[in-house]
Amino acid sequence: MSSPMKAQRAFLPEVKIPSSLPSEPVVIADMANLFGVTHRTLHFYEEKKILSSGRMGLMRIYSHQDVHRMAVINVLREIGVPVAAIQDIMGQLDNASSQEEADDIFQVALETRKGELAIEMSSVHRQIDQIRNLLDFSDDHDCDPDQDSIADLTEQETTCLELMSEGYSSTRMSRTLGISADELNLLEESLLGKFGVNNRFQVVAKALTMGVIQS
């Protein structure tokens, strides 16, 4: 027996909705595919009460309004807003009495995150400067990464480095590069090997220091 779709408040900020939007009701598999997330992620958002679904038998189903809500959540997650903060933002949106108020709430959330990122970037640049001072490539070439390997970086590897330097999550990097999570892991391992380092932070620092990518 089908469960009716639950009506939701209409006031949500304007964000990009997936163009391949299926007709209602949207089943959970389609919802997951629209945003490149797992079923578990959708369940998690429901547990945190920032997303809800109806039921068709045992299957979770969503309305187009739910898709719009998920699009807002997805934007906030992609710019690094913590789930706890998203709960607060979505709660404010639920209580918005007009579209203008909803847009203002979202604008404040974006400006707040922009300020946080500016502080984080300043800290990262200071750390990179410290690493530049500690690394002495000119005095010990034996410790350099293989220059031929660096010169032979593929366009995909260079793009991967740039995305790393911008703080992209693994999920977002996979989607941007159009590759699977396993392929991304292999790509990152290749970069670590070519630069002779152990983690993302070190490879970005070396790539910036050597001028392979620009800050």
DSSP string, 67-131: HHHHHHHHHHHHTT--HHHHHHHHHHHHT-SSHHHHHHHHHHHHHHHHHHHHHHHHHHHHHHHHH
Domain extent listing, the chain: 1-122, 135-209
CA distance 112 to 10: 24
Residue with tokens 């995909």: 156
Task: Read off the pLDDT band of 149 (50, 70, 90).
Answer: low
CATH code that applies to domain 1-122: 1.10.1660.10
Quick check: 8 pLDDT over 70? Answer: no
Residue with tokens 């490879």: 203
pTM above 0.95, yes or no: no
Element housing 146 (H / E): none
CA distance 107 to 202: 34
1-122 and 135-209: identical CATH topology: no
Q: How many CA atoms within 13 Å lie on the side-chain side of 153?
A: 24
Quick check: 153 pLDDT over 60? Answer: yes
Q: Which of 11-15, 18-22, 119-123, 165-169 has the highest mean pLDDT?
A: 11-15
CA distance 55 to 140: 64
Q: Partners of 61 in the beta sheet?
A: 27, 54
The separation between CA 197 and the C-alpha centre of its own chain, rounded to angstroms, equals 24
Q: Are 165 and 204 in contact (CB under 8 A)?
A: yes
* Higher-pLDDT residue of 166, 23: 23
Q: From its phi and psi, is residue 49 left (phi > 0), alpha (psi between -120 and 50) or beta?
A: left
pLDDT digits (tens, 9 = 90+) for 24-76: 999 999 999 999 999 999 999 999 999 999 999 888 999 999 999 999 999 99
Average pLDDT over residues 87-98: 95
CATH class (in words) of the domain with range 135-209: mainly alpha
Q: Give the pLDDT of residue 66.
A: 95
Neighbours of 51 (CB within 10 A): 20
